[in-house]
Amino acid sequence: MEQSQTVAARVAQMLLEVKAVRLSPDAPFTWASGWKSPIYCDNRVTLSSPSVRTYIKNVLADLIKKELPGVEAIAGVATAGIPQGALVADALNLPFLYVRPKPKDHGMGNQIEGRLEPGQKVVVVEDLISTGGSSLKAVDALRQAGAEVLGMAAIFTYGFPVSGQNFQAAGLPLHTLSDYEALLHAAVPLGYVTADQVETLAEWRRSPETWKQ
């Protein structure tokens, strides 16, 4: 596997190049939570680029083999974690399942789709970590269903302090390919933002819930 810093820089560059990440510090986006944000990240865009999709699949698989050995199944978090997780499961030749935000209100009423064996060692795959709340709900569902969740692997994290606290409280290791710091380092030389705008972007990450409110 490549060095983690090299992977982080390369993934950040790829996300910018395919416009999976958009930086707009002077005209911020509004998230569903109501937070104002100078960044919008949609890693589903990577699926439309075969070379980027393949690279992310391979380095995620390598990360899981190195950091979370003994995995017996991969679980994707609906919806964006489903295709990424399925690609990784295929690369590792492992069973795949996915977890809905809540049980279906019809049919079998499943929240977990796919076959989960009692005590099975599962790694959860996500595309993006913000606060970690929705991702950890999927972990709770898997644990309640009898899985042993070894950890979570994701493409990108904003690195909010609250997410670190949430994963620590859940007792769950989190491993990501790239993060906000790597993104900022890649964005300036590529011309996505100016050096003067970097401080604004860094300020947002320190206190996203109050930034420009």
What integer pLDDT is reported at residue 118 of this predicted model?
93
- H-assigned helices in the chain: 4-17, 50-67, 81-92, 133-144, 161-170, 180-187, 195-206
**Average of pLDDT values for 11-25?**
94
What integer pLDDT is reported at residue 109 of this predicted model?
63
CA angle 114, 118, 124 (to 5 degrees): 55
Give the percent of the chain with pLDDT over 90: 74
Distance in angstroms (rounded) separating the CA atoms of residues 65 and 90: 13
Q: What's the predicted TM-score (pTM) here?
A: 0.93
What integer pLDDT is reported at residue 212 of this predicted model?
80
How many of the other CB atoms lie within 10 Å of CB of 211? Answer: 16
Please tell me the least confidently modeled range out of 56-65, 124-133, 166-175, 187-196. 187-196
Four-point Cα dihedral 183, 189, 194, 197, nearest 10: 20
Is it the case that residue 104 has pLDDT exceeding 90?
no
**Average of pLDDT values for 193-209?**
87
Integer CA distances (angstroms), 203 to 26, 27, 76, 85, in order: 13, 15, 32, 32
Closest CA to 155 of 182, 120, 121, 184: 182
Looking at every residue in the chain, the average pLDDT score rounds to 93
What integer pLDDT is reported at residue 71 of this predicted model?
98
Type of residue found at 122: V
Name the burial class of residue 170, with classes exposed (0-12), middle (13-18) and buried (19+) by CB atoms within 10 angstroms of its CB: middle
Question: pLDDT per residue over 57-91, tens digit each?
Answer: 999 999 999 999 999 999 999 999 999 999 999 99
